Structure 1
Amino acid sequence: MKIYDTLTTKELEVNAENVRIYLCGVTVYDESHIGHARTIIIFDVLRRYLESKNTPVKFVQNFTDVDDKIINRANTEGIHPLEISRRYIDHYFEDFDRLNIRRATAHPKATEHISEIIELIKKLVDSEFAYLSLNGVYYSVTKFTEYGKLSKRKTEDLISGARVQVDETKNDALDFALWKFSDADPNWPSPWGKGRPGWHIECSAMSLKYLGEEFEIHGGGRDLIFPHHENEIAQTEAITNRPLAKLWMHVGMVTINGEKMSKSLGNIRSVRNVLDNWGPNVIRLFCISGHYSKAIDYSEELLKENLIKWRQVETAYYEMIMSEGTGPTDEITILITECRSEFDSALDSDFNTSLATNAFFKLVKGINRIAASEEMSKSVVNIALPEFERMLDILGLQVQKITESEKQTITELLQKRESLRAQKQYSEADKIRDQISAQNIVLLDHKNKTIWMKKEKIKSDI
């Protein structure tokens, strides 16, 4: 498996024996949005694929739970900043559990690692990569000669990036805060004075603690390349003298009408709102529909297209589990071999989820074609279902399953409906069909039989 590395601008091979991943998580001052969801879904699928190949994965995703944005939000609401961060961490898990995201091996919070952060800052001060100013402790960018190697920017051409405030007490405009002096809550004692950590230092401290030096993959959205990841490299490598990560993987933004989502434009789409309207499977399909490194544009039309595709997936699943008897297997055997090869090759080649989903839908269409030709059988299903479910699990998609009790109830209602139809009591038969439909059950009429499927209830269903 090879993935494009932002640092070397080459596709690098991923270690198949052990993979440690650090993914920069969200700053918890508001609801997570669909842009966050795309990055996290991409890395969830990556992890699922590696684990499907029996590769051990240690996956760490942090929460930034102390930050100026959190403090500003708390001041607006008149509550403690840690109440804000706790609220949105709770909301994060509610939303991303619904999105079928596997929880990380560890979800460290900045506020729980103040001692590790202070120790790392001490090392930077002692080695003269950091210095004390009137407002806090700053990293001296000019001391790190490779600064700019990730973002491909020259130090002399750089201007202060996001969250780097103008401060006349700094030695250089590009120097960034490792520790900010503050008397306001939350704050912690340090050798330099009471305050709180800067944004970038927390990830260096936590990645070192949980994954050690030079782990396999460091990831995040493309907007984190500069300054956040550039600063992480400078802080960590100044101490370790080793590469922070073997590979840097960055996910493209989600745009709306070609523009980045932002509060100022009023075009934010929260995960919670989109989930309520479209459900987890449609969102996941949308987020993996393009190559991870490229931006994708959010639109209701694209979500509708993915909903139509999802209904085809549900149909294929129920056509298989409702099948009976035996039949020829040549067609499905050839199809499975082709689709498995195309699916895995796509993910092995710079993690192309777009081509991988194409291979999955090729399998789905093939299964539905066999069912439509009345050739679906148990012998076909024994070959098709394991591969169908393997791809489904890697992509993190979940078909609505049925209990034995539900199956028995629906079967009895169908038998009653068929009996009424045989007696030409069509009005009564239609009432039973309506009763079945109210349970999100759809009837699939074949030439000699009627089967049924339980479909996901989606508010924006067309």
Structure 2
Amino acid sequence: MPLRLYNTLTRQKEEFQPLDKERVRMYVCGPTVYDFAHIGNARPVIVFDVLFRLLRHLYGESHVTYVRNITDVDDKINARALRDFPDLPLNDAIRNVTEKTASQFFADVKALGCLDPTVQPRATDNIPGMIEMIRALIARGHAYQAGSEVLFSVPSMPDYGALSQRRLEDQQAGARVAVDAHKRDAADFVLWKLSSPEEPGWDSPWGRGRPGWHIECSAMSSRYLGEVFDIHGGGLDLIFPHHENEIAQSRCAFGTSVMARTWMHNGFLQVEGQKMSKSLGNFVTINDVLQEWPGEFARYSMLLTHYRQPIDWTRSKLIEARSSLQKFQKWYVPLEIGFSADYDQSAVDVEVLESLQDDLSTPEAFSALHRLATDLANPALQSRPDHNKRLSEFSRSLDLLGLAPRKQLVDIDATRVDAFISARLEARKAKNWAESDRIRDELAAMGIAIKDNKDGTTSWEVKR
């Protein structure tokens, strides 16, 4: 079965055909490191990690290049630096903000089971490439300097708006672009803006300044992946203006018909049925979740919903993830242990692989895993000659999804468990069977199996 992916540019599923099977190339927009990443930011990181793993499985680990950038120059970063470090020089304050938040992001996504991308470029390390791209746009008649800015001329690109399917006359300026009198057209957007003495800046032909948001990704993707590459991904909210403007800059600077052949976007996220916001008190960072739940639970619960659909982040899904992964963990065999049987230990379950090849259908992949886990647990099927083969395929399928257990998936507080058991014994003595059953169910939810012994004591163990 071929890999088929939904292409936002064409609004349909298409068979994926890389430009070069020896060098499959993918770019995904990364975080702006001014604050800890929230759980909505985790969704594209997890989704495109699954795709990265799948591409490596299909084409070979050494043949896939995945670039995810870090935006470390931005007006939000400047504002946070001035707020949090008012007594430091601005450059030092900015460095404190970006280093702290970037380090936290790296730790958080690792805990979510995500592989490191092949390259993680920072915007501040790619300023010369941005300047050269802006030079090319001016030389080709697609950009101009006006006021204190260099702007992209949107009307210079007749088919601007193809990704978002917006008509040129309906375009509105992006949130980071003020509609000023010096613009030739209201839709024109910033490529370079001059910096005051108090703001960070770099020397350029147009004066000391800093790049606009969109030019950063165009410069970094072309540097590491070329003028045209295979896949560009990100959240649905980035289609316009960010990705639309990336396409405009890259195509017009290089004279190409496309920037990326396939554009993929994950859906929006809400929390317990509401839009996430600090004002509603439901703003959740990745780190908040990881303080309470293992990263595997968060990853699994995120993948329960197809990546293109909106997702409702709920505690009940985390509990469902815990139940499923505790069931799966029993049948996971690490690759380094392996089996003596003569078969390909890199193979994954056929149904799981076909589900993922159908536009990353992780819900269907999980259904296949549950069916396989049920078969593996069936004593009547455990004596079959292919049992070890199926066990290995199950394990490699979890590897492919980034769900290989890295530790026991429940953190047990023995003192707390003993307290529950003592309370249950008291309830049983008082013949309060409802309370006894409630405590038993609470322990089961914690992953604890209890056994009432003949001598009147109760023993417990972690469920496997």
TM-score bin, normalised by smaller chain: 0.7 to 0.9
2:35 paired residue among 23, 30, 33:
30
- The answer to whether the 8 Å contact 1:400/1:454 transfers is no
The aligned residue for residue 208 of structure 2 is 194
The answer on 1:3 being equivalent to 2:17 is no
Report what 1:343 is aligned to.
352
Tell me the residue number matched to 1:427. none
Alignment partner, residue 411 of structure 1: none
Matched, 1:234 2:248: yes
Alpha-carbon displacement from aligned partner over 1:328-352 (angstroms, at most 9, x marks no partner): xxxxxxxxx9x93321221111221
Matched, 1:316 2:331: yes
Q: What code does the residue aligned with 2:11 have?
A: T
Residue 443 of structure 1 and its aligned partner are, at CA, apart by 7.0
Contact 1:315 / 1:453 at 8 angstroms: preserved in 2? Answer: no
Q: CA deviation at 1:159?
A: 1.8
Check whether the contact 2:154–2:188 (CA below 8 A) recurs between aligned residues.
yes
CA contact under 8 A between 2:349 and 2:393: conserved in structure 1?
yes
The percentage of aligned residue pairs carrying the same residue is 42
Whether contact under 8 Å (2:144, 2:153) holds in the other structure is yes
2:98 paired with 1:85? yes
| Structure 2 segments unaligned to the other structure (5+ residues) | 338-346, 409-442, 452-459
Equivalent in 46, 53, 74 of residue 81 of structure 2: 74
Within 5 Å, which residues of 2 pair with 1:282-431?
282-317=297-332, 340-370=349-379, 376=382, 381-400=387-406
Total equivalences in the alignment: 397
Residue 202 of structure 2 aligns to a residue whose secondary structure is: coil
SS in 2 for 1:216: strand
User: Residue 81 of structure 1 contacts residue 185 of structure 1 at CA under 8 Å; is this kept in 2?
Assistant: no
Q: Who is 2:238 aligned against?
A: 224
**Shift in CA distance, 170/349, structure 1 to aligned 2, threshold 3 Å:** same
Task: For 1:108-257, list aligned pairs within 5 A.
Answer: 108-183=121-196, 184-242=198-256, 243-257=258-272
RMSD: 2.9
TM-score, length-normalised on structure 2?
0.80
SS at match of 2:172: coil
Q: CA deviation at 1:4?
A: 0.7
Matched with 1:274 is 289
Q: Counterparts of 1:278 and 1:94 in 2: how far apart (Å)? A: 15
Q: Distance in 2 between matches of 1:141 and 1:262?
A: 33
- The code of the aligned residue for 1:23 comes to V
Q: Deviation at 1:316?
A: 3.2
Partner secondary structure for residue 169 of structure 1? coil
Is the contact between residue 174 and residue 189 of structure 2 (CA under 8 Å) also seen in structure 1? no
Are the aligned partners of 1:6 and 1:249 in contact in 2 as well (CA < 8 Å)? yes
Structure 1 regions of 5+ residues with no counterpart?
323-336, 403-436, 446-450, 456-462
Q: Following the alignment from structure 1 to structure 2, what is the Cα–Cα distance between the partners of residues 144 and 444? A: 69
Residue-by-residue CA offset, 1:68-114 (whole Å, 9 max, x unaligned): 11111111112522221111111111111111211011000110001
* TM-superposed deviation, 1:386: 1.2
CA deviations over 1:110-133 (Å, ceiling 9, x no partner): 100010000001111111211111
TM-score by length of 1: 0.80
